[in-house]
Amino acid sequence: MKSEFYNRYTWPTKAAARLAVGDWIERVYNRRRRHSKIGMISPVEFEDRHNQTAQAA
């Protein structure tokens, strides 16, 4: 993400940067691809499992 997006632009505020990065993630980042660092599940599934664990605690 740094080389593809973040380092190519400058933003006037941190809030503007956060919005731009969030938009990039929603449009470009493949949230369905499985990742080896999180047990070969998709980032969406990882987040869902994390949220379920947090709610159960």
List, run by run, the mean pLDDT of 10-residue segments along the chain (57 residues): 70 90 80 84 90 86
Q: Which residues contact 38 (CB under 8 A, 6 or more apart)?
A: 46
Q: What is the pTM of this model?
A: 0.47
For position 12, what pLDDT does the model report? Answer: 93
For position 1, what pLDDT does the model report? Answer: 60
Q: Which residues contact 1 (CB under 8 A, 6 or more apart)?
A: 21, 24, 25, 29
Q: 34 and 41 in contact (C-beta within 8 Å)?
A: yes
What b/e readout covers 29-43, taking b as 16+ CB neighbours within 10 angstroms? Answer: eeeeeeeeeeeeeeb
Q: Report which residue type is found at 44.
A: V
Question: Three-class SS of residue 53?
Answer: helix
